[in-house]
Amino acid sequence: MSKLKLSKSQYLKGIQCPLRLWYYTHCKDLIPPIDPATQAIFDQGHEAGLIAQKLYPGGVSVTTDFTKIPEAKLETDKAISDGAKAIYEATAINELGIYSRIDILVRSKKNKNTWDLVEVKSSTEVKDYHIDDCAVQRYVFESAGYKIDKSLLCLVDRDYIRKGDIDPDKLLIYADITEEVQQKMIGLEDKALDLIKIKNKKKDPHCSIGDHCTAPFECEFKEHCWKHIPDFSIYNVMTKSKKRAALVEQGIIEIKDIPREKVSVSKLIDIESFLSNKPFFNKKKIKDWLGQLSYPLYFLDYETINPAIPLYDLMSPYKQYPFQFSVHIQKKKGAKVTHLEFLNTEQRDFREDFIKSLIEGCGDEGSIIIYNMSFEKQVNNRLAEDFPKYRKELEKINERMVDLLIPFRSRYIYSPDQNGSAGLKSTFPAFVGDLYNKLEIKDGATAQKQYMEFLQDKIDPADQSKIFEDLLDYCELDTFAMVKLLEVLYQHQK
């Protein structure tokens, strides 16, 4: 058996950036822990993979783990000689030592010595990097002696509506990408051989930073490669990559060197504020914006989950379902705020309880202040579709919404500490102080992950109440932050 030289995932890292492959081989200590959002994507992919196996009942699983590739290949060979019709996690190694696993290797219906490759993704559409992924697989299996007919992607159908148990035939859809894959295979072996050489070099290949550091995937070495880039730089104020690349080419990275005529008006505010280290206020615009508010004020925020595999009846893949809200209420200007909250703490469909508590918590009149209200509006519209008996009340809540993001995103107000971002996690620390740092749960992705684990019964019952407390603290701080930011706006109106 050939010595192992390059895996599919190493090839994919290498075509994104050769330095990424080299660091991955030689500097594993630079790899940070996986963040909650990435872990959630891995978990969903794994879950979709297990459901897809049900489409091929009676298939044989290669159980040897991914660190023992030669053993997994032998297990695959045995399953084939035993006459398996489908093999899950089948593994092949070609004579150059390039190797790959495939989610499902299926004996073709046309000819029993020919196979289809089925790769399962929790995505809802074909992406360019899926073609690269499937091209390496097909190349490895073909060059290892397999006759391959189709390359199929098995994707999640976003229109699927769960009714009872998950129906794999309806949840998953196929995309036949055979032609695209065959196109991508042209020159693939040469690229793979180049990457093997790069991987084995003692010295790292020089690669500049750029858009490829975040696409198609965020590179795990970004913190390392980008450490010379200031927190606020050309990358924050110039989003158009061609224009920016031309300036970076000339060595322009720092804010002070950026030609002013190259940036938008709102970015000019960011730049001037940064250079003078002074906040910016458009007092007239702030006053006009504040003029639309009507008391009592309700500062509202949701936490949601959006699993690829719907958890309960009448749920669909990737739709946002709210399990928690926090609302701070202020009856009059300057009055003390009171607080209400909702968090579902049972492993069952929570939507109707959420709606009822929300309608009760939001009262009948007054502005409902949200940070980036398009998200909450969309969530309410979906709830109204799923539970039409509450449509009127949910629509009324949407009509009362006012977006607190606007004054910050439109630069009626700006602090140099925002580093160009108008997100709540930037504006609140910039104007009030960073209270998020004191919390156990500091961001929405972690809240989502912890809550999904609770619903999937992956959290020890003894630890659940602590998680609920952390979730409540996190959501409460989001609405408290809005209360404080509104106070800041009042202080700076004309």
| Total residues interacting with ligand SF4, rule: CB under 6 A | 12
Minimum CB distance to ligand SF4 smaller for 222 or for 396 = 222
Q: Quickly list DSSP for 136-147.
A: HHHHHHHHTT-E
Residues 189-218 that bind ligand SF4 (CB under 6 A): 207, 209, 212-213
- Among 222, 287, 396, 484, indicate the residue that binds ligand SF4 (CB under 6 A): 222
Minimum CB distance to ligand SF4 smaller for 23 or for 480 = 23
Minimum CB distance to ligand SF4 smaller for 226 or for 295 = 226
- Is 408 a binding residue for ligand SF4 by CB under 6 A? The answer is no
- Is 442 a binding residue for ligand SF4 by CB under 6 A? The answer is no
Residue 299 region by backbone torsions, left for phi larger than 0, else alpha for psi between -120 and 50, else beta = beta
Minimum CB distance to ligand SF4 smaller for 219 or for 355 = 219
| Nearest-approach distance from CB 233 to ligand SF4, in angstroms | 15
- Is 23 a binding residue for ligand SF4 by CB under 6 A? The answer is yes
- Is 15 a binding residue for ligand SF4 by CB under 6 A? The answer is no
Burial category of 137 from C-beta neighbours within 10 Å (exposed 0-12, middle 13-18, buried 19 and up): buried
- Among 17, 152, 383, 475, indicate the residue that binds ligand SF4 (CB under 6 A): 17
Minimum CB distance to ligand SF4 smaller for 223 or for 440 = 223
Are 17 and 213 within 8 A, CB to CB? Answer: yes
- Is 235 a binding residue for ligand SF4 by CB under 6 A? The answer is no
**3-class DSSP assignment, residue 301:** strand
**3-class DSSP assignment, residue 226:** coil
Q: Which stretch binds ligand SF4 (CB under 6 A): 15-23, 32-40, 262-270, 476-484?
A: 15-23
DSSP 441: -
| Nearest-approach distance from CB 29 to ligand SF4, in angstroms | 14
Which of 465, 437, 432, 438 has the alpha carbon at shortest distance from 450?
Answer: 465
Axis crossing angle, helix 36-53 with helix 444-455, rounded to the nearest 10: 40
| Strand 6-7, strand 60-61: pairing | unpaired
| Nearest-approach distance from CB 219 to ligand SF4, in angstroms | 3
- Is 221 a binding residue for ligand SF4 by CB under 6 A? The answer is yes
| Nearest-approach distance from CB 44 to ligand SF4, in angstroms | 24
Residue span 354-393 as binding mask against ligand SF4, x where in contact by CB under 6 A, dash where not: ----------------------------------------
Burial category of 177 from C-beta neighbours within 10 Å (exposed 0-12, middle 13-18, buried 19 and up): buried
Are 88 and 117 within 8 A, CB to CB? Answer: no
**3-class DSSP assignment, residue 338:** strand
Minimum CB distance to ligand SF4 smaller for 202 or for 260 = 202
Residues 42-71 that bind ligand SF4 (CB under 6 A): none
Minimum CB distance to ligand SF4 smaller for 14 or for 407 = 14
Are 469 and 59 within 8 A, CB to CB? Answer: no
Minimum CB distance to ligand SF4 smaller for 228 or for 389 = 228
Map tokens 């196996």 to a residue: 53
Minimum CB distance to ligand SF4 smaller for 225 or for 467 = 225
- Is 26 a binding residue for ligand SF4 by CB under 6 A? The answer is no
Q: What is the CA 227 to chain-centroid distance, rounded?
A: 23
Amino acid letter, 492: H
Q: How far apart are CA 133 and CA 148, in angstroms?
A: 16
Minimum CB distance to ligand SF4 smaller for 65 or for 211 = 211
Distances (CA, A) of 312 to 164, 317, 348, 365, 416: 8, 11, 8, 33, 45
**3-class DSSP assignment, residue 260:** helix
| Nearest-approach distance from CB 218 to ligand SF4, in angstroms | 9
Q: Which stretch binds ligand SF4 (CB under 6 A): 18-26, 309-317, 338-346, 389-397?
A: 18-26
Q: Which stretch binds ligand SF4 (CB under 6 A): 12-20, 84-92, 111-119, 234-242?
A: 12-20
Q: How far apart are CA 231 and CA 419, in angstroms?
A: 7
Ranges assigned E (strand) in 202-244:
none
| Nearest-approach distance from CB 220 to ligand SF4, in angstroms | 7
Q: How far apart are CA 330 and CA 479, in angstroms?
A: 12
Which of 324, 300, 10, 312 has the alpha carbon at shortest distance from 136?
Answer: 10
Residues of the shown chain interacting with ligand SF4 in the complex, contacts defined by CB under 6 A: 17, 19-20, 23, 207, 209, 212-213, 219, 221-222, 225
